[in-house]
């Protein structure tokens, strides 16, 4: 029987993870998505194209297209929008990005957090997990990867 993800309490030991792990985004129906763990980035990010803000019942909802795995076709997703935020990208450029709120699961830890929507097409990993998410009780060992389990595809 699988254990349900937990929210890390202050008295628990940190969970050791590598520089790349698989993350689940259950609100979006996504599981075992390859993610780079990046202590230099403040906010987590997900690859998104065709980003479109919508107002549904007076609330911001952001529609975007995402391809979970190489070789798969992109699919349309919707998530609650939080705001638009100026973010300094990895190349130093300031970009205005939409921020969504979604549930993330990394190992046995589950939390509701923010992710910016960015075109990560040139990046090796479609998701980046930033330090705001990592402060929930993770310790990153940059010498290791897949400490929480190997991805299902063969192209690791």
Over residues 82-120, the pLDDT tens digits come to: 999 998 877 788 989 999 999 999 999 999 999 999 999
- pLDDT over threshold 60, residue 8: no
Considering the domain boundaries, does residue 39 fall inside one? yes
Give me the mean pLDDT over the 67-96 stretch. Answer: 89
The total number of structural domains in the chain stands at 1
Please answer whether residues 17 and 119 qualify as being in contact, where contact means their C-beta atoms are separated by less than 8 angstroms. Answer: no
Please give the mean pLDDT across all residues of the chain. Answer: 89
Give me the mean pLDDT over the 34-57 stretch. Answer: 95
- pLDDT over threshold 70, residue 32: yes
Q: What is the pLDDT of residue 7?
A: 54
Q: What is the pLDDT of residue 87?
A: 86
Considering the domain boundaries, does residue 95 fall inside one? yes
Please answer whether residues 37 and 18 qualify as being in contact, where contact means their C-beta atoms are separated by less than 8 angstroms. Answer: yes
Considering the domain boundaries, does residue 149 fall inside one? no
Instruction: Give Rg (Cα) of the chain.
Output: 15
Considering the domain boundaries, does residue 129 fall inside one? yes
Question: What single string gives the DSSP state of each residue in the chain?
Answer: -PPPPBPPPTTSPPEEEESEEEEEEGGGTEEEEEEEE-TT-SSEEEE-EEEEEEEETTEEEEEEEE--STTSPPEEEEEEEEEEEEEE-TTS-EEEEEEEEEEEEETTEEEEEEEEEE--TTSS-SEEE-HHHHTTTEEEETT---TT---SSS--
CATH of the domain at 86: 2.40.70.10
For residue 107, what are the domain limits? 13-47+82-143
Considering the domain boundaries, does residue 34 fall inside one? yes
Task: Name the pTM for this structure.
Answer: 0.86
- pLDDT over threshold 90, residue 81: yes
Residues sharing a CB contact under 8 Å with residue 131, sequence separation 6 or more, in sequence order? 38, 39, 40, 41, 42
Considering the domain boundaries, does residue 29 fall inside one? yes
Give me the mean pLDDT over the 44-72 stretch. Answer: 94
Q: What is the pLDDT of residues 120-152, one digit of tens each?
A: 988 899 999 999 999 999 999 999 999 999 887
Q: What is the pLDDT of residue 9?
A: 54
Best CA proximity match to 45, nearest among 110, 7, 100, 111: 100
Residues sharing a CB contact under 8 Å with residue 40, sequence separation 6 or more, in sequence order? 131
Considering the domain boundaries, does residue 35 fall inside one? yes
Considering the domain boundaries, does residue 53 fall inside one? no
């Amino acid at each position: 029987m699988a254990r349900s993800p937990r929210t890390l309490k202050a008295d628990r030991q940190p969970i050791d993870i590598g520089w790349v792990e698989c993350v689940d985004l259950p609100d979006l129906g996504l599981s075992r998505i390859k993610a780079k763990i990046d202590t230099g980035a403040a906010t987590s990010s997900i690859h998104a194209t065709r980003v479109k803000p919508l107002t549904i019942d007076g609330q911001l909802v952001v529609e975007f297209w995402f391809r979970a795995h190489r070789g798969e076709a992109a699919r349309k997703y919707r998530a609650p929008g939080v705001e638009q935020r100026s973010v300094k990208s990895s190349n130093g450029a300031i970009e205005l990005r939409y921020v969504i709120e979604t549930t993330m699961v990394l190992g046995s830890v589950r939390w509701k957090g923010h992710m910016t929507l960015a075109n990560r097409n040139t990046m090796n990993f479609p998701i980046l997990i930033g330090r705001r998410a990592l402060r929930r009780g993770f310790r990153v060992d940059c010498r290791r990867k897949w400490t929480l389990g190997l991805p299902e595809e063969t192209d690791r």
